[in-house]
C-alpha cells in the first residue's frame, strides 16, 4: 500500500499500472503508435534495423500472450532461444496482429484494474510484478516503433505524437 501522499500523486497501484499500459501516462500509447500504420510501412525494413515494425509488434504480442497466460493460471514456457519470441509476420497478417495486440492490451488493462496484483503467478513473482515487467517491455518496443516510423517518414500519425 502506498502512503497517502504518494497515492495522491500516482493513484492507487492498479490505476497506475493501467495508466502505464495505455493512455494516461508519459508513454505514447500503443494505439497511437499503430495509428494509420499501413501493412506496407509496418513490414518495411529500415537499413541497419534488426526488425520491422510488424515484427516488433509480433514480439510484443508473443510476450503479451505469455503474461496473460500467467495471469489466467497457466504456466507458459519461456522459449529456449530469443529468436522463438520473434514470430515472423507479413503484410497479410498485419491488421489481424494489430487487432489481437490491442484486444490483449484491453485484457491486460482490465487485469491491472481488477485482479489481485499480490497473487503469485510464478513461484517467486506476483501478478503485479509481471504486469509491471510487461509495461516496461512495451515501453521499450513502442519507442523502437516510433523511431522506425520517424525514419520511414511515417511519424507523427495524423492524431499527433511526440516528436522530441
pTM beyond cutoff 0.85: yes
Alpha-carbon distance of 149 to 56, in angstroms, equals 12
20 falls in which pLDDT band (50, 70, 90)? confident
pLDDT in tens, 32-90: 898 899 999 999 999 999 999 999 999 999 999 999 999 999 999 999 999 999 999 99
Rounded to the nearest angstrom, the gap between the alpha carbon of residue 140 and the centroid of all alpha carbons in its chain is 9
Record the cell numbers describing residue 7, joined without a space. 497515492
Percent of all residues in the chain with a pLDDT value above 90, rounded to a whole number: 71
**What pLDDT does 5 receive?**
52
163 falls in which pLDDT band (50, 70, 90)? low
Helices (H), the chain: 4-10, 13-21, 30-33, 39-42, 53-71, 94-114, 127-151
Phi, psi for residue 122 in degrees, rounded to 5: -135, 165
- The residue with cell 492524431 is 159
Alpha-carbon distance of 10 to 130, in angstroms, equals 19
- The residue with cell 522463438 is 84
Domains by residue range for the chain, with CATH: 4-151 (1.20.120.450)
Amino acid at each position: 500500500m502506498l502512503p497517502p501522499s504518494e497515492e495522491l500523486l500516482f493513484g492507487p497501484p492498479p490505476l497506475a499500472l493501467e495508466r502505464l499500459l495505455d493512455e494516461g501516462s508519459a508513454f505514447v500509447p500503443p494505439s497511437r503508435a499503430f495509428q494509420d500504420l499501413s501493412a506496407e510501412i509496418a513490414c518495411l525494413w529500415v537499413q541497419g534495423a534488426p526488425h520491422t515494425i510488424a515484427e516488433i509488434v509480433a514480439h510484443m504480442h508473443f510476450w503479451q500472450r505469455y503474461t496473460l497466460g500467467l495471469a489466467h493460471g497457466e504456466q507458459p514456457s519461456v522459449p529456449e532461444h530469443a529468436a522463438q519470441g520473434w514470430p515472423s509476420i507479413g503484410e497479410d497478417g498485419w491488421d489481424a496482429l494489430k487487432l489481437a495486440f490491442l484486444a490483449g492490451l484491453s485484457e491486460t488493462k482490465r487485469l491491472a484494474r481488477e485482479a489481485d496484483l499480490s497473487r503469485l503467478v510464478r513461484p517467486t513473482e506476483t501478478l503485479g510484478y509481471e504486469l509491471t515487467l510487461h509495461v516496461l517491455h512495451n515501453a521499450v518496443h513502442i519507442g523502437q516503433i516510433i523511431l522506425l516510423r520517424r525514419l520511414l517518414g511515417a511519424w507523427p500519425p495524423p492524431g499527433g505524437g511526440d516528436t522530441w
